[in-house]
Amino acid sequence: MSTPHPRAGARRWALTGLALLIVGVLLFPLYWMFNASLQPSHELLSIPPRWFPTDPTLDGYRAAFDSQGRHLVISLFVACGNVVITLALAAPLAWALAKFRLRFAALLLFVLLIVQMLPGIVKANSLFQLYSEIGLLNNTIGLMLAQSTLSVPFAAVLLRAQLREIPAEVVEAAALDGAGAWRTFLRIVVPMSRNSVITAGLFAFLFSWADFLFAVTLTSRDAITPVTVGIYRFVGANATDWNALMASAVLASVPAAVLLVVAQRYISVGLTGGSVKD
């Protein structure tokens, strides 16, 4: 390859400049959230607005931890629980769908795709009745199970597509060596498809962390409310304390930001993998 023409190089950097501008505009709301999270409340109510936190304060974060700290811990706990539930159910199912030649595999796959389109409010409506009968309202396990309905079908479809790519020779070799179905699955299949399992787990975490509908319908006691509902109630009660509110919003965004940095390559796989048949 010949070295690019210097003028062509300059044009490419001009594109980078334009891209920076686009990213700046599109991510401006996030900057504005961060900016407000560091400014004292009274300064936020000044006109014109302050574009930079020239006199930063951590009061907002203190208030956010005071009011949302507990909710953040609950969200973390519920999201981790959902990851476990999702992987425990979806990964074996995906393997069965990929390799067992089940007679009803096509039907099951269709069901997994179609239930992802079931409106959440319908599930919340009937799970509320069910939970009130069996005592799972205001229960973190109940919430995990409800939220798992967002991630189990997604993860199963995603993993099935990936597990299908595992060569048959591997499984056969393990079977010849006397390994049972579960041993083959746990010792060979899961390690081989580590990346897609991580992707599925990440998305289960994010779906759960972001869930609002199940949280607001199935939990009413403040002691077990996750952070989405915590913020929602905070907006209602302290509509003008933008400093603490934006600090809470920043805290609730941390997992997404962290995942984007550490797991970006998994995310683009998951973006479509769980909802589009391969």
Output 224 or 230, the one with its CB closest to another protein: 230
Q: Is 181 in the site for another protein (CB under 8 A)?
A: yes
Identify whether the C-beta of residue 89 lies closer than 8 Å to the C-beta of residue 219: no
Identify whether the C-beta of residue 206 lies closer than 8 Å to the C-beta of residue 255: yes
Of 168, 123, 188, 183, the closest CA to residue 149 belongs to 123
By CB under 8 A, name the one of 102, 106, 141, 262 that touches another protein. 102
Q: Is 266 in the site for another protein (CB under 8 A)?
A: no
By CB under 8 A, name the one of 204, 242, 244, 247 that touches another protein. 242
Q: Is 90 in the site for another protein (CB under 8 A)?
A: yes
CA distances from residue 268 to 137, 202, 203, 259, 271 in whole angstroms, order as listed: 35, 12, 11, 12, 5
- In the complex, least distance from residue 165 CB atom to another protein, rounded to whole angstroms: 4
Name residues contacting another protein, limited to 31-50 (CB under 8 A).
Answer: 32-33, 36, 44-49
By CB under 8 A, name the one of 2, 178, 221, 223 that touches another protein. 178
Identify whether the C-beta of residue 150 lies closer than 8 Å to the C-beta of residue 118: no
Q: Is 3 in the site for another protein (CB under 8 A)?
A: no
Q: Is 120 in the site for another protein (CB under 8 A)?
A: yes
Of 175, 198, 199, the closest CA to residue 188 belongs to 175
Output 51 or 223, the one with its CB closest to another protein: 51
Q: Is 156 in the site for another protein (CB under 8 A)?
A: yes
Largest CA distance in the chain: 75
By CB under 8 A, name the one of 72, 210, 224, 247 that touches another protein. 210
Residues touching another protein: how many (CB under 8 A)?
118
φ, ψ dihedrals at 5, nearest 5°: -60, 140
Of 64, 82, 66, the closest CA to residue 254 belongs to 64
Output 56 or 180, the one with its CB closest to another protein: 180
What sign results for the dihedral spanned by CA atoms 258, 73, 216, 63? negative
Task: Compute the CA torsion angle 131, 136, 140, 143 (nearest 10 deg).
Answer: -10
Q: Is 54 in the site for another protein (CB under 8 A)?
A: no
Output 73 or 182, the one with its CB closest to another protein: 182
Output 83 or 252, the one with its CB closest to another protein: 252
207 vs 151: CA distance, rounded Å: 7
Output 58 or 115, the one with its CB closest to another protein: 115
By CB under 8 A, name the one of 2, 3, 54, 264 that touches another protein. 264
Q: Is 192 in the site for another protein (CB under 8 A)?
A: yes
